[in-house]
Structure 1
Amino acid sequence: MTSRKPKTIQTMKPATAAKKLGVYLEATPAEFQEGVVSRDELNALQAEPPVWLQELRRNGPHPRQVVADRLGVSVSGLARGGVTEALTTEQIDALKAAEPEWLQRERATQAEVRRETVRIKEKQKQQAAARNGR
């Protein structure tokens, strides 16, 4: 007979779980912030988000990565624009409506980065095809 080790429960820190859920840790309930989250608990939160998680995802405050995505800029672009705090959906919408100069500039920079990434991938694809065709 072979002996099997009992399955260990994989856990993560609240900060990791919040990042995976796309929410700002400081805005989560205290019991979430103070404990550890198992993989099964994370999966359950993703499958059937409780009211507090739905509310955070809808209205914020949102972590910088989510703010950057919603504004169409990089996290570095947010910092260059002076945005260092978590923002609510209302604040993000106000920034979009106001379109300050830094936001326009960072969106243009982000668009250029995306174009350059596509150009490089196409070039690599052509080079690989040329190598395979020889």
Structure 2
Amino acid sequence: MTSQKTTQTMKPATAAKKLGVYLQATPADFQEGVVSRDELNALQADPPEWLRALRRNGPHPRPVVAARLGVSIAGLARGGVTEPLTTDEIEALKSEEPGWLRRERATAAEVRAESERLKSRDTGDAGA
């Protein structure tokens, strides 16, 4: 008996998250259908123009906005950024560098430094 392989599919929201794009900015046929694993791989390997444009110009989902600004998602919320931003809006925030952004970047740097300190401490303990 051989079992027939079923195609693995995902909801559009999951696919958009994996592609790093804001779901509501994607084409209607993408939002309304299901995406197979093969289709997702094809989109990642050879993105169509709409996907390249979204990645380049936005609007971008919060994880992408946070990464581009160098802060956490919680830091975005503390700064009052709750909506998706375009690339131009992100660049404007970077150049303006409001107080909340400076604070959140400093906090993120402290967290990274502490993580590195703990990682090197743990690595040092393992080698001793």
TM-score by length of 1: 0.95
How many residues in Structure 1 have an aligned counterpart in Structure 2?
A: 128
Higher Cα Rg: structure 1 or 2? 1
The CA distance in 2 between the partners of 1:126 and 1:107, in whole Å, is: 28
The CA distance in 2 between the partners of 1:4 and 1:19, in whole Å, is: 34
1:127 offset after TM fit, Å?
1.0
CA-based RMSD of the aligned residues comes to 0.4
Match of 2:22 in 1: 24
Runs of 4 or more, structure 1, over 4 Å off, are: none
Match of 2:52 in 1: 54
**Structure 1 unaligned runs (5+)?**
none
| Alignment match of 2:13 (pick from 12, 15, 26) | 15
| Alignment match of 2:87 (pick from 86, 89, 102) | 89
Q: SS of 1:40's equivalent?
A: helix
The CA distance in 1 between the partners of 2:68 and 2:124, in whole Å, is: 33
Give 1:49's aligned amino acid: P
TM-score by length of 2: 0.99
Give 1:45's aligned amino acid: L
Q: SS of 1:116's equivalent?
A: helix
The CA distance in 1 between the partners of 2:2 and 2:79, in whole Å, is: 55
Q: SS of 2:5's equivalent?
A: coil
| Alignment match of 2:67 (pick from 60, 66, 69) | 69
